[in-house]
Amino acid sequence: MFPFYWFAYRGKLVKEAMEFKSRIATMTPEEYAHFYESIDTISRNRESDLNARCLKAVLDALPGGQVRILDAGCGNGFLLRAIGERNPKAVLCGLDLKAPRKPIPGEFARGSMDAIPFSDKAFDVVICTHTLEHCLHLERAVQELTRVGRSELIIVVPKQRPYYYTVDEHVQFFFYREQLTTAVGLPRHECTALGGDWFYRGQL
C-alpha cells in the first residue's frame, strides 16, 4: 500500500496517513486540525468530491430567496459557488478546518464539526457533503449539525465498505442505508443511493 499512499499524499506525511485510523482515537483536537491543515493530497485538491447526480439533488432540494445556508465541511467552496450561481439571494456560509484556497461566496468560519461556532437554529438549511466520514465523534457532529439548523439537513456520504487502508482519511463508513439514517436519527427523511454516494435529506 505504501506506493499508493506515496502517490496520493505527494510523498508527504505518508507514514502518518497510513497510521491515521490507529492514531485518530488519541489525537487532540489540535493535532487533528494540524494533520488536515498539513496534508496536500490529490483528493484534497480536487474541485469537489460530489458526483453530478448528488450535486443536482442538493441544488434541486434548496429553496429560493434569501435562505440562510451553511455548508459544513465546505472544502474549497465548490458547492457554495454552485449554490450562489443558482440562487444569488442566498445567504451563504462555509465551515472547515482549513481555509479555502480561493475566496468563496459569503462568509467563511474556521472550525470543527464537533463544535460548530454558530448559535442554535442559525441557518435555514445545513448541508454536509463528504465530511461525516472524516469525523471520529459522529454522534457529536450530527448533534451540532442539527443544532444549528432550523428546517432541513442535507448530507452526502460515500457508500463505502470499511477498510483500514483507504487514501482518504475516512473513519466512518456507510455501506448500508441504515448506518446513515440511524446515525442521524431524524424521523422525517429520505435517503437515496446516487452514483456511489448516499444522498440524505431530513426535516429538522
CATH of the domain at 163: 3.40.50.150
**Predicted local confidence at residue 19, as pLDDT:** 72
2 domain residue, yes or no: no
Q: Are 179 and 144 in contact (CB under 8 A)?
A: no
Strands laid side by side in the 68-72 sheet:
107-110, 91-96, 68-72, 123-129, 149-158, 197-203, 189-194
159 domain residue, yes or no: yes
69 domain residue, yes or no: yes
151 domain residue, yes or no: yes
144 domain residue, yes or no: yes
31 domain residue, yes or no: no
Report d(CA 122, CA 87) in Å as an integer.
19
Residues counted in the chain: 204
pLDDT in tens, 67-87: 999 999 999 999 999 999 999
**Predicted local confidence at residue 43, as pLDDT:** 56
22 domain residue, yes or no: no
Domain containing residue 194:
48-203
pLDDT in tens, 157-202: 999 987 766 657 788 999 999 999 999 999 999 999 999 999 999 9
Task: Identify the band that residue 25 occupies on the pLDDT scale cut at 50, 70 and 90.
Answer: confident
pLDDT in tens, 119-156: 999 999 999 999 999 898 999 999 999 999 999 999 99
Total count of domains within the chain: 1
Task: Identify the band that residue 5 occupies on the pLDDT scale cut at 50, 70 and 90.
Answer: low
